[in-house]
Amino acid sequence: MSALSLKASSNYTPFPGPLVFVIMDGVGIGKRDESDGVFMAYTPVLDALFGEPLYTQLKAHGKAVGLPSDDDMGNSEVGHNALGAGRVFAQGAKLVNAAIASGALFAGAAWKKVVAQAAQGGAVHFIGLLSDGNVHSHITQLLELLDRCAEEGVPRVRVHPLLDGRDVGERSALSYLDILEKKLAEINAGGKDYRVASGGGRMVTTMDRYGANWSVVERGWKTHVLGEGRPFASAAQAVQTYYMEDTTSTDQYLDSFVIVENGKPVGTIEDGDAVVFFNFRGDRAIEISRAFDEDDFAEFDRKRRPSVFYAGLMQYDGDALIPKSYLVEPPAIDRTISQYLCAAGVTSFAISETQKFGHVTYFWNGNNSGYIDEQLETYVEIPSDKIMFNLRPWMKSAEITDSVLGAIASGKHRFIRLNYPNGDMVGHTGIVPAIRIAVESVDLGLSRLLPALAAAKGMLVVTADHGNADCMFTEKKGKRESMVAHTLNPVPFIVKDFSGANRLALANVPSAALSNVAATLLALLGYEKPEGYDPSLIAI
């Protein structure tokens, strides 16, 4: 029996329709009060599904998805990794922490090349998200890299912080900048030249993903590399100025800035320098990495491309080799559910809009780009709107639903998976009415899928990858503060069988989590779980 063989279940009866798997991105189980956008939204379909006999809740954060501790919020990337892999792999932050603690990061060829560039007169530049959100990055890792630069005698370092306000408090940038500036001052007291050079809010500077808006990356290139942007004496001055100019502005949308002295930028990126992108998560690191790495680059006019050594904290796309150099090896995720299904000849269909398309393909497939078997798989990407998501909180839920209805009607696909991004993308805005509409849009999509599945005698499975819309705000001393980050809440898991072909029951699985879903989907498709997979949530 080959490594990717699936064993058919002996007590399973096939059913005529498809198995449709819905991932409601960012829809967790909250407090069921007015702060809970899922509870407050009008969701008659979800309300009914939550009352189904095959309903349970899953862990979607912390150690259950491979993160260092249970204080760590889950995110879409590790969530989809766990959903598609069927077991837990050590993830970004945990891998990096281990590589720093063991010294493996500093013993690697990429780090040695960074230090060598400095020894030849180049500056070392660190670009990345400055927060302790632990979703894309962690400030502690940056501080440790800075300390190591100082220990190894790197004389000149420039930091280009991207402001968060999404995975942490929406106006928390000044606290992180204060920590960074104190570290730089401490190092500079020893005779070094370490400074902040440029930055900007993550949603407008550098951190685009999936090719949704390359102008964000172009703005980052102009800011970090060319030193083109609004000038300030310090990053704190830039943030304070933007706050005063727009009292509603939040960190993630603050404009870019350039630190200048005597009328000149203090930290443009020049020939002979080294550049490290210190995010460990891949989706919003790929495009800026391409801009540095690619000779034949056509997404925007770089004007000047310095000859530098560029490295990511990790390799963000293993198939496309982006970037070419990296400091820490990514998790090696093998034997994903899609690999097994393709080996068994099962036809599948995957769809989302741009913002989450990579999650139902790349991350679902174990951080691998492209098709596993183009003869058996169909991937559909619907272009996302290029505006703030609270302005169109329904996003592309209708278009996604339209396409799935067509896939169900075609009868060509045994397994259909889709991601509704609304709860996450709109949840990150912290705008209460928009979040409720976002969740209601997902419910409306489900209301259209259920009759189609009933007619086809198929099966529906619904879950989420992490929480977000389930907490819209917190209250401290009677004052509400928008909650724009993910939550630590569990997520729903529901099976709705329209076929009646099999007798289904919830299995007794302690500490059920996202990693149990893959074996569950295989069970519902008539296969036993592969060796090493976490057990199915459903007994047949």
190-194 long-range contacts, Cβ below 8 Å, gap at least 24? 190/150, 192/150, 192/154, 192/155, 192/156, 192/157, 193/155, 193/156, 193/157, 194/146, 194/149, 194/150, 194/156, 194/157, 194/158, 194/159
Residue 224 corresponds to which tokens in the numbers above? 């970090």
Asked if 463 and 25 touch (Cβ cutoff 8 Å), the reply is no
Residue 217 corresponds to which tokens in the numbers above? 């990356």
Q: Which of 5, 10, 76, 384 is catalytic?
A: 76
**Is the Cα torsion angle 267, 270, 275, 277 positive or negative in sign?**
positive
- Return the H-helix or E-strand segment holding 178: helix 173-188
- Cα separation, 289 vs 271, in Å, equals 17
- Return the H-helix or E-strand segment holding 145: helix 139-151
Q: Active-site residue 76, yes or no?
A: yes
b (16+ CB within 10 A) / e for 28-67: bbbeeeebbbbbbbebebbeebeeeebebbbbbbbbbbbb
Residue 295 corresponds to which tokens in the numbers above? 């000779």
- Cα separation, 166 vs 237, in Å, equals 21
Residue 279 corresponds to which tokens in the numbers above? 């995010």
Strand partners, 59: 513
Residues whose CB falls within 8 Å of the CB of residue 433, separated by 6 or more in sequence, listed in order: none
Residue of 481, 393, 493 lying closest to 41 (CA atoms):
393
Residues whose CB falls within 8 Å of the CB of residue 390, separated by 6 or more in sequence, listed in order: 426, 429, 431, 434
CB count within 10 Å of CB 433 equals 11
- Kindly report the three-state secondary structure assignment for every residue of 7-26: CECCCCCCCCCCEEEEEECC
Catalytically active residues, by annotation: 76
